[in-house]
Structure 1
Amino acid sequence: MTELLDDVSWQGKIYSNGWTTAHGGVLDSTEPATGAVLAQVGLADADDVAAATARAAQAQAEWAAQTGPSRAAVIRKAAAVLADNRAEFERWLVREGGAVPGKAAFEVDLVLGELWEAAALPTQPWGHLLPSSEPGRESVARRVPLGVVGVISPWNFPLILSVRAVAPALALGNAVVLKPDVQTAVSGGTLVARLFEAAGLPDGLLHVLPGDAGPGAALAEDPNVAMIAFTGSTAVGREVGATAGRTLKRVSLELGGNNALIVLDDADLEIASSAGAWGAFLHQGQVCMTAGRHIVLESVADEYLDRLAKRAQGLPVGDPFTGQVALGPLINERQRDNVHRIVEETVGAGAEVMAGGSYDGLFYQPTVLAGVTTSMPAFREEIFGPVAPVVVVRDEAEAVAVANNTEYGLVAAVQTGSPERGRDLARRLRTGIVHINDQTLNNDAYAPFGGTGASGNGSRFGSQSSWDEFTQWQWVTFRDQAHAFPF
């Protein structure tokens, strides 16, 4: 069976005015589970970025002038291409990103949702008829594209975290330059390029330039770029925001999280521990929405810990491409070493390992830590690994205080037998997202997704939010004829 990547000569190249040789060299795409080389990808440099943004700016005006239905048709076609070729996308997510097959299938489903929602944007109303303060004058406000949007996406959910910005930006009349993380350059970049190429997107509107911090900084500084949509760590996000801010770009920053799962004393602990395990261990905990702090009322803490530890001990870890496993590898040795450092330092400060705490290669065992306090590294830091630190609190008031005791503010979840009690508690949590009787890992293409504090700068992804992110208002007035003024 012919696959999308079989139809073009893409190995060692970037996608910019077709498949071209990169100036930054070539990098091996490797499988974290085995170390095997899967492919070679081209690496962009600052010259590639400059050429791409100039071409994108040139192509964007004609694209914006097309009718909404014609742009929508391209996005719908991309969704159809993805649906027909989803097995290829899923395989790359498993092998290149270390995802288990279920996570890969879930990610493709999320991308399909983003494409369908993006395809609906160009045919929605795009302005308002305004009242006028003067007779004989018509006044309107209309949404217009920004121009060229730079997208910088990470490695953990590479396909969705690229497409959720690329698709609505294109749908609303912008051109896009995408810089995917080099660790998942195929699943977060090459496949995105092929998807829109096969959908018939006109030349010059999408450029895919894998690279390191150099081309990322060049993209943030480039005068042809009107906006940067960045998803990644808070530390790098601060740098991107500072760089882009100097050129007065619009900046959307979706950053890290240290998210609380609060378990109240009336919760069903079998269900709560299931939610806790899923929230902490999905994709090896390498998700900005991971339940990184389990805050449990003391009357149910021992039972919750016991149930959570047993779930962790029963989760198989291994190569997701060849085995039936629940957790695959961490993305690289640096990530593994940081996870283990946090665990060891937290244990050294007095916490107890109830499950896990060890690794083999890049395979880290799902870990449960008891006796965690607010001063320990596992509480203060975003771990980005399969670790569930459990903090015991006296009551709801302390649970809220402990949950809010962080610079991050992405998502929180509450497990309770009383929905009203959960809603009341949710009102006191300083996060952009709260889920009652659920876990922290949720995403809908039509919901406003984003955080507060160190988790983001107030931007939101999601279908209706895309109008705010990827267009700007233009006020236009009309008179039938010009008139004189007092001067």
Structure 2
Amino acid sequence: MQQYKEVKNSLINEEMSRSFINGEWQEGKSNQIYEIVNPYDRSVITTIKLATKEQLKEAFENAKKAQKDWAKSTVEQRREILHEAAEYLKNNREEIVEILGLETGGSVLKSNIELHLALEFLEESIKYANEIYSVREVPGSEEKLHHIHRLPLGVISSISPFNFPMNLSMRTIAPAIALGNSVVHKPDIQVGLSGGSIIAKAFEHAGLPKGVLNIVQTDINEIGEEMLTNPHSKLISFTGSSEVGRHIGAIAGQNLKRVALELGGNSPFVVLSDADVDQAVNAAIFGKFIHQGQICMIINRLIVHKNVYDQFVEGFIEKAKVLPYGYQRDPKTVIGPLINERQIEKALQYIEDAKKEGATLALEGKRIGNILTPYVFTNVDNSSKLAQTEVFAPIATIIKAESDEEAIRIANDTDYGLSSAIFTSDLIRGEELALQIDSGMTHLNDQTVNDAPNIPFGGNKASGLGRFGNPWVVEEFTITKWVSVQIKERQYPF
């Protein structure tokens, strides 16, 4: 494995390797020290002393107090802080992109895309900072007026994953702050800088009042379920696996908390008989292998009509086998390292299981250090473990469909329903079929990995509850209150 010189990045420092609680950078009080490492060679990027459950409770207490004052802030104050936080990210773009790549193993392209998306969510939140305390009048009578008010929700618990840490943290944090809420946020500790500290620094730079945003660098073995059960939290925003999401949903239900859950996916990419096969291949390569397949929306099953199956498979393999792999900071790299050894071992086990299940290994990849080069399985049965598992690795699964109708049926034959795609020359019929796929999102003549701050992002079935994006997130993160005004004396029957 090629060696690389130590990176000198001004954002990797002692302050940023701490928790940010009540406007102060606090060292964790746990005895545990966590090393954030580069997935490529396991070299240490920084070390973090974990925060304790008591520090997390302190963060919630401060968030509750701070939210009362923040809820009284003006639209102009909120917009100015959001604007300045965005300026911080823009002014430190080069170093932030570098850290995103170092922590996540993401390519230069992926890291730039992620920062761009995080900025989009931050800047979109400026547009709806005026939604709280808005009043809408609905028809009443000559005797009564009906006013509908929108109020801040309160304290929001935010938990984000390792794969797109900055973007998936910002899409909760920015709307919450814009709408007068406070936040206690726990990023995945593997990516604590890009998922937490950089965001905290941006809002500290912007002048956000202390306690409105708290970033707690810790792990489950330290804090247990405090992020879920703390009585000050009114909503739990979580992005991660469906298994954990179900657990969070159960706890939230017991405590009558709201949830915003964006969970696992098993996204189908359907190629119909009339598709432009070459373009479908181009889209499929990107949508399967960006960030080594470690995206909830990634193409998990390629479902191809029998009439174009051979042409598609041939073109897909030709492109997959020459994708550049290597160190993620090399601008030419497409396939970088998987996040950790556990993910690599899981991926290798999926490969062995697929072989035993009888799938055809059409392209055999290899492990090179912490990198897996692309694997392609054909003649896969949709009921197999490979087809029904969210693999989170550069392993492509291609399924033959006997008809367009069967392709849609196969697409729906999964517990998940996050994203999906259909390739066809008939856009009218394509949209009709898109509505038949039970997923939160379907993309015609594109791949499955798409996001934007002004669309209803979210899944069906085991892929989650709730929707992000403007204006849908406004409803999620606020309270709607009815105030009636009796303008004429009412006569009561007793």
Structure 2 gaps, min length 5: 1-7
Q: Which residue number corresponds to residue 372 of structure 1? A: 380
Deviation at 1:3? 7.2
Conserved 8 A contact 2:64-2:232: yes
Q: Note the 1:19-38 alignment, pairs <5 A.
A: 19-24=25-30, 25-38=32-45
Conserved 8 A contact 1:168-1:466: yes
Partners of 1:480 and 1:394 in 2: CA distance: 67
Q: Does 1:410 align with 2:415?
A: no
Partners of 1:408 and 1:237 in 2: CA distance: 13
Question: Which SS does the other structure have where 1:237 is aligned?
Answer: helix
* Stretch moving more, 153-162 or 43-52: 43-52
Q: Does 1:14 align with 2:19?
A: yes
Q: Which residue number corresponds to residue 75 of structure 1? A: 82
Deviation at 1:124? 4.4
Partners of 2:224 and 2:190 in 1: CA distance: 15
Partners of 2:188 and 2:350 in 1: CA distance: 24
Q: Which residue number corresponds to residue 61 of structure 2? A: 54
Match of 2:277 among 263, 269, 272: 269
Q: Which residue number corresponds to residue 230 of structure 1? A: 238
Deviation at 1:21? 1.9
Letter of the structure 2 residue corresponding to residue 334 of structure 1: R
Q: Does 1:144 align with 2:148?
A: no
Partners of 1:426 and 1:389 in 2: CA distance: 21
Partners of 1:216 and 1:68 in 2: CA distance: 37
Q: Note the 1:182-261 alignment, pairs <5 A.
A: 182-214=189-221, 215=223, 217-261=225-269
**What CA deviation, in whole Å up to 9, does each residue of 1:86-122 have, x standing for no partner?**
1111011100110100110011111111011101111
Structure 1 gaps, min length 5: none
Partners of 2:65 and 2:488 in 1: CA distance: 34
Question: Which SS does the other structure have where 2:51 is aligned?
Answer: coil
Conserved 8 A contact 2:455-2:469: yes
Q: Which residue number corresponds to residue 309 of structure 1? A: 317
Question: Which SS does the other structure have where 1:342 is aligned?
Answer: helix
Question: Which SS does the other structure have where 1:378 is aligned?
Answer: helix
Q: Which residue number corresponds to residue 307 of structure 2? A: 299
Q: Note the 1:443-482 alignment, pairs <5 A.
A: 443-457=451-465, 459-478=466-485
Q: Note the 1:90-239 alignment, pairs <5 A.
A: 90-124=97-131, 126-133=134-141, 135=143, 137-214=144-221, 215=223, 217-239=225-247
Match of 2:348 among 340, 351, 356: 340
Letter of the structure 1 residue corresponding to residue 27 of structure 2: T
Match of 1:5 among 11, 17, 27: 11
Partners of 1:444 and 1:205 in 2: CA distance: 25
Partners of 1:10 and 1:42 in 2: CA distance: 12
Match of 2:329 among 321, 324, 337: 321
Partners of 1:107 and 1:426 in 2: CA distance: 27
Partners of 2:237 and 2:224 in 1: CA distance: 11
RMSD: 1.9
Conserved 8 A contact 2:108-2:331: no
Partners of 1:455 and 1:303 in 2: CA distance: 32
**What CA deviation, in whole Å up to 9, does each residue of 1:293-324 have, x standing for no partner?**
00000111111111101111010211112462
Conserved 8 A contact 1:12-1:26: no
How many residues end up aligned between the 2 structures?
A: 483
Q: Which residue number corresponds to residue 297 of structure 2? A: 289
Partners of 2:365 and 2:244 in 1: CA distance: 28
Conserved 8 A contact 2:326-2:333: yes
Partners of 2:401 and 2:480 in 1: CA distance: 48
Deviation at 1:244? 2.0
Letter of the structure 2 residue corresponding to residue 463 of structure 1: N
Question: Which SS does the other structure have where 1:339 is aligned?
Answer: helix
Conserved 8 A contact 2:179-2:477: yes
100 and 143 in structure 1: CA distance in 2 versus 1, 3 angstrom threshold? same
Conserved 8 A contact 1:284-1:385: yes
Identity level (%): 37
140 and 435 in structure 1: CA distance in 2 versus 1, 3 angstrom threshold? same
Question: Which SS does the other structure have where 1:399 is aligned?
Answer: helix
Partners of 1:211 and 1:315 in 2: CA distance: 36
Deviation at 1:132? 3.1
Letter of the structure 2 residue corresponding to residue 60 of structure 1: Q
Question: Which SS does the other structure have where 1:83 is aligned?
Answer: helix
Deviation at 1:484? 8.8
Partners of 2:116 and 2:77 in 1: CA distance: 24
